Every structure is written in C-alpha cells, then in structure tokens.
Amino acid sequence: MTTSFRSPAGAATVFSTDQKIRVGILHSLRSSRTVFLGRNVFVGVHSLPPSSSSPSSIQAVSTPAKPEAAKPTKRSKVEIIKEKSNFIRYPLNEELLTESPNVNESAVQLIKFHGSYQQYNREERGGRSYSFMLRTKNPSGKVPNQLYLTMDDLADEFGIGTLRLTTRQTFQLHGVLKHNLKTVMSSIIKNMGSTLGACGDLNRNVLAPAAPYAKKDYLFAQETADNIAALLSPQSGFYYDMWVDGEQFMTAEAPEVVEARNDNSHGTNFVDSPEPIYGTQFLPRKFKIAVTVPTDNSVDLLTNDIGVVVVSDENGEPQGFNIYVGGGMGRTHRMESTFARIAEPLGYVPKEDILYAVKAIVVTQREHGRRDDRKYSRMKYLLSSWGIEKFRDVVEQYYGKKFEPPRDLPEWEFKSYLGWHEQGDGALFCGLHVDSGRVGGNMKKTLREVIEKYRLDVRITPNQNIVLCDIKSEWKRSITTVLAQAGLLQPEFVDPLNQTAMACPAFPLCPLAITEAERGIPSILKRVRAMFEKVGLEFDESVVVRVTGCPNGCARPYMAEVGLVGDGPNSYQVWLGGTPNQTQIARAFMDKVKIQDLEKVFEPLFYNWKLGRQAKESFGEFTTRMGFEKLKELISTYEGSPQ
C-alpha cells in the first residue's frame, strides 16, 4: 500500500485572494478563453464539441497553448455554479456561516457534492422548516463497528431518531439542522466515515455484494469496488476544508489507484489541476458503478452507468472483468425523450486494466455528456445517441487499448443474503430484513445493543437490508432470540413479498415526491397478499414490487415485476414486465391508477397468471408473454375469481 496524505488546507492556500491561477475546465477539447470568476480566480473555459464530433478529434484535455475563437455553448445553471465555486467551496462556505436555517440556490447545488440535500417538511403549513439529509459513502456497503455506533448516536442527537438504509448501500440521516451540520459531518469523518461524493455530479457510492464471504471472487469484487471508489474520489480538498477546517487525514491507497489516477498517457487528465479527473466542472450528472461476481445480481448490475463483473478461471482465480455501460433509471413523466435504460456489454479487460478502463469511460462521459439540459445529461443518453460501437471507439482512445469480447457468464440470480450463512472463514453472518430500510424504534435500539455488545461490523445491502458480520457460532442462538423479540425475524417468518420489495422515502421530506412510497408500501403489500390469497396463490409465491413517489426511480421501479411510480396525488403509473433477477426492464402499462383501484388492475392479472402461466414462469415473464393489449382485455372482462 502507498500511504498518502490528503491535505485540504494546503489545497485551499492555492486559491488565496492574492494569487491568480489558470486551470482547465471541461467545455471542450479544442478551444479556450480565460474568464474572470471573481475572488481572483481565473479559469480556462472551453465549449463542448457537438455530439457528432468524430473520435479522431479527441485531443489531450489540457488547455491548448494558443486559444482559438469559440462560439459560447449553452450550459445549464448548475454548470455555471460549479464553474464559479472554487472547486465546490463558494458560496457554500459563506452560506453555512449565516443565521438563516437554509442556504441559497447555489449552495444547495454545491452541498450535494458534500453528501447532503436541503429539505423541508412539505406537510407543514405556515412556513418552511428547513433541515438537511446526509448520505454516507460506503463502498460495498461496508460499515465499521465504530461508524455504525456513531451514526446511531447522531440520528438520536441531531436527526429524527431513525437511520435509513439506502438502495446504494449507504445510510441516510434526515432532519439535521444547518447549525449542526459541521458537528455531524466532522463526527462522521472522525469515526471512519465519509459523505464526500454521496450526492452531486460525480461518481456515487460503488456497489458490490454485501455478503462477507471469504471467497476469492467476492473479496476481489469488493476490493475492486474500493479501488474504483478511491480512484474517482475528489482530490481538491473542498470537503475537508469545509467540515474539519482543512485538518489532514491520512488515507491509505493501493499503489495501482495512485498510478491510474495520475496516468495521462492518453489525454485523460487535467494537468496541474487539483482535480486531475474531474476538473472544475466535474461530471455532467450523477454517475453510478456496481461490481459483482457471476450469478450474483444483488446489486441490480444493469441499472448502473458502469457494471463490472469479475471473471475467474477454472481454479477460481480472478482474471479480468466484463464491463457493461449505459444503465440508468431516472425519467420524466409525459416526456418520451427521457427513459429508463439497462446497460449493455462493452467488452472484457484483464484485471490489471480495470481502473484505466473505468477512468476512460468516465472521461468519455465527462467530455461528451450533455451539459446544456440536465434531463439528458446521464451517460445512458450518450449511449443511446451514439450507439455502442461509436461509444466503444471513443472509450478505447482514452483507454489506449481495444476491448476484448465479453466472456460468457451463467444466468443471473437475485440474492438477498437474509438469514444465517457461513462466511467461509469459521465465522457466520446474518442478513436481516428491514422494511424500506427504515431503522427506528425498538429495532434500532436492539440492533445497537447487539452490534455494540459483540463488536460487529455490518454491511448494507442494495435491497435496503443489513448484514451482521463476523459472528461466532456460539453467539448465534442468543443473537437470534434478541433480534426476533425486536421484530427482526429470520426470512422464513417474513412475507416473501416484503423480502424483495423496495420504496423510496418520498413524503414528507423529498422535494420531488408526487405521492407516497415508503409510508404507503406496507399497505400495498398487504393488499397484494390479500389478492394472492383470494385468487389461490400460495404464501411462498411472490412478485417483485417497487414503489417510488416520482419518476426519478431511486428504488429502481423500472426493473420490478410490479413498479408503481407516482404520477399524481394518490396515483401511480403502473409498470410491468421486469423479472425476479433484474435483467429485463419493465414497460409502462397504465397511467393515473388511483391507490384505491389497485385491486381492479391487479386481481385479474394475478388470477390469470395463476391459471395461464407456464412452468416456473414469473409474473413479469407472464405479462411480457401475454402482451399489454391482452392484459387490458383480461382486466376489462374479469368477473371475479371463483370462491
């Protein structure tokens, strides 16, 4: 390992008010001009090349020596905020010092990069009670014992008394007041945690299977997730400047991470910039990566901008990776030009090249992703516009090599890791189902007691559940008993519908919510179970149900067999056709289905699935085979199931 010191204080002094600097930013590779940003910071500004530019036009991304005239390119408001921010500092640093309970519009955008969203309770009348949601960054969902206990304490002292486990293997802490932000952030940093890059236009938390198996492929997948997260972590020190006064924190990075970050042999880096990969503009939008092993689709691999799969030889030794690109869930209602998309194969790389390949993909999106309209700024739109062949050609120029054909892989499975399992090193792990990831009340108290008493590390799963790790076999009985008394049951006692269901928080704090999700899904699942019983489906039969309060897709509803996407007050757009192993995207089936009318839609479908399904055919596969026209006919002619 190479030990390096991140020195935010040193980085900050580069931008003192008596100095002028010139750094490259990301608006083009071909022309530049110098623009005064205020506060004595000068930045080289570039204009984005048109999307039709040929791959052969790609040049090094450092500022050309001879500026050329360039037509100004339209940019979104957020791009201008980033440009003027002095690497995500200004005006957030000033806004945090005011007496106001909130921050201004520019600071709202910048604080996302620090891992926080400004929110208010939308159900309160007579004014807005502002607070902040904090999201941690935990590659592979790993949470050290010390950090878990810290988050538990912070939720009680500064939050709303609950912790939320997210669909990207992190914590969300709601209800933090502005004047407490620095205390909470610094506590997380000083207790083995971080919120840096959990939100904002950069690489988010890197997913990997949460199971702590002592298997070569699982360990290699998790190590790779850690290295990718380190590679794409911001380097300019703005986070530590803001929350721990520039205090130095020692971080240990693998030498291959440092080497890959610094390598500029194919024009990927901004030379002499505090952000060699991101520059001043970072990425056009959020960027999501998942790493896994063959068969294990616990990470919803195909919903990510980049999906990485370990490929091993016949002896189980990891040799390289298949790479998939272009997934993404967010869309906008009644705007068909926005869409959910699953990733497609890009190729195979040997294991020693994975960081360079990932960096090349990120740089391709950085340089060519749209920065004028944020609705179309995710990498999936670049893939859709270019096609995979052109995309591969451009990435290969930044990578410096040709991708090999992807290796054949076995079928994918969804793996929840609920219940007790052997780790393979003599210890056990226990996966616990948590409805919608909300840890509160007696459950929270009991989890704290168990984790503290036995000094357990934990993992958060991409399905909003929690895994207790490194448990000695002699502890199993007592831990099982204590957890059950708090409602944390073994999977055989949890409804299969609940085990695979997910929902986003939605009301009352999410500013984008149109209707209920987390608060509504318990009732929805009970009604689905009642419909199952009415039409004669067995208890061990299930469908994947996911609910979101808006079309942004945080709970990945477009991969569900039954996706309910808020499209009005107490109203949902119904999506059908996903599969239990999350390998097929669903399609919009009906709009504006009122919550009270769910039985009118789903009871006929469940009844006909029971009668007409083929051997082992899932509900999602059944709806795809039947076709939507036939399904609507079944609904309109349904007269009720025989009692």
pLDDT at 440: 98
Q: What is the pLDDT of residue 48?
A: 32
Contact between 133 and 154 under an 8 Å Cβ cutoff? The reply is: no
pLDDT of 375 above 50: yes
Instruction: Write the pLDDT tens digit of every residue in 115-133.
Output: 999 999 999 988 899 999 9
pLDDT on residue 250: 62
Would you say 28 and 48 are in contact if contact means Cβ atoms under 8 Å apart?
A: yes
pLDDT tens per residue across span 399-438: 999 999 999 999 999 999 999 999 999 999 999 999 999 9
pLDDT on residue 83: 97
Q: What is the pLDDT of residue 73?
A: 79
pLDDT at 480 over 60: yes
Q: What is the pLDDT of residue 174?
A: 98
Q: What is the pLDDT of residue 643?
A: 66
What the chain holds in terms of domains, given with CATH numbers, is 84-188 (3.90.480.20), 204-397 (3.30.413.10), 417-487 (3.90.480.10), 497-635 (3.30.413.10)
What pLDDT is attached to residue 358?
98
The strand ranges marked E within 212-280 are 249-253
Query: Which amino acid is it at 346?
Result: L
Q: What are the distances in angstroms from CA 122 to CA 119, 127, 551? A: 9, 10, 18
Whether cis (ω within 30° of 0) applies to the bond prior to 406 is no
Tell me which residue has tokens 């009642």. Answer: 530
- Whether the per-residue pLDDT at 3 is higher than 70: the answer is no
Contacts of 141 (CB under 8 A, 6+ apart): 169, 170, 207, 208, 210, 459, 460, 461, 462, 467
Is 164:174 a contact under the CB 8 Å cutoff? yes
| Residues 6 or more apart whose Cβ sits within 8 Å of residue 546 | 501, 502, 503, 555, 556, 557, 559, 560, 562, 563, 564
**Strand 306-312 relative to strand 130-135: parallel, antiparallel, unpaired?**
unpaired
pLDDT at 71: 58
Q: Which of 12-21, 285-294, 349-358, 547-556 has the lowest mean pLDDT?
A: 12-21
Is pLDDT above 80 for 448?
yes
* Amino acid of residue 553: G
pLDDT per residue as tens digits for the range 504-524 = 999 999 999 999 999 999 999
**What average pLDDT does the segment 288-309 reach?**
98
Strands 306-312, 289-292: pairing is parallel
Per-residue burial over 7-44, b if 16 or more Cβ lie within 10 Å, else e, is ebeebbeebeeeeeeebbbbbbbbbbbeeebeeebebb
- Cα–Cα distance measured from residue 201 to residue 182, given in angstroms and rounded to the nearest whole number: 22
User: What residues act catalytically?
Assistant: 135, 204, 286, 288, 504, 510, 550, 554
Residue 613: exposed, middle, or buried by beta-carbon count in 10 A (0-12, 13-18, 19+)?
middle
Residue 85: closest CA among 48, 119, 39: 39
Is the pLDDT reported for residue 26 higher than 60?
no
300-324 confidence digits (pLDDT tens): 999 999 999 999 999 999 999 999 9
Using a 10 angstrom Cβ sphere, with 0-12 exposed, 13-18 middle and 19 or more buried, the burial of residue 225 is: buried
Reply yes or no on whether the pLDDT at 11 is more than 90.
no
E strand or H helix at 458, and its extent?
Answer: strand 458-460
| For residue 36, pLDDT beyond 60 | no
Residue 252 pairs with which residues in a beta bridge? 3
Q: What pLDDT band is residue 47 in, cutting at 50, 70 and 90? A: very low
Among 331, 243, 233, smallest CA distance to 274 is for 233
Given this model, what pLDDT does residue 304 score? 98
The confidence score (pLDDT) of residue 72 equals 65
Give the pLDDT confidence of 131-141 residue by residue, as tens digits. 999 999 999 99
State yes or no: pLDDT of 603 exceeds 70.
yes
d(CA 156, CA 117): 19
Q: Is the pLDDT of residue 453 over 70?
A: yes
Confidence band (pLDDT; 50, 70, 90) for 642?
confident
Residue 66 above 90 pLDDT?
A: no
Residue 474: pLDDT above 70? Answer: yes
pLDDT over 80 (residue 543)? yes
Task: Give pLDDT, residue 247.
Answer: 87
The single residue listed with the structure tokens 């790493």 is 291
608/623 Cα distance (integer angstroms)? 10
Quote the pLDDT of residue 503: 98
Query: What is the pLDDT confidence band of residue 65, given thresholds at 50, 70 and 90?
Result: very low
- Poorest-pLDDT segment among 15-29, 94-108, 329-343: 15-29
Q: Which has the closest alpha carbon to 221: 148, 287, 297?
A: 297
| Cβ atoms within 10 Å, residue 128 | 12
- CA 313/CA 309 separation, integer angstroms: 13
Inform me whether the pLDDT recorded for 251 exceeds 90. no
What is the mean pLDDT of the segment spanning 371-381?
Answer: 98
> According to the model, what pLDDT value does residue 87 have?
98
Mean pLDDT across the chain: 90
Neighbour-count burial of 174, counting CB atoms closer than 10 A to its CB (0-12 exposed, 13-18 middle, 19+ buried): buried
User: pLDDT above 70 covers what percent of the chain?
Assistant: 88
* pLDDT score at 125: 87
Whether residue 253 is predicted with pLDDT greater than 50 in this model: the reply is: yes
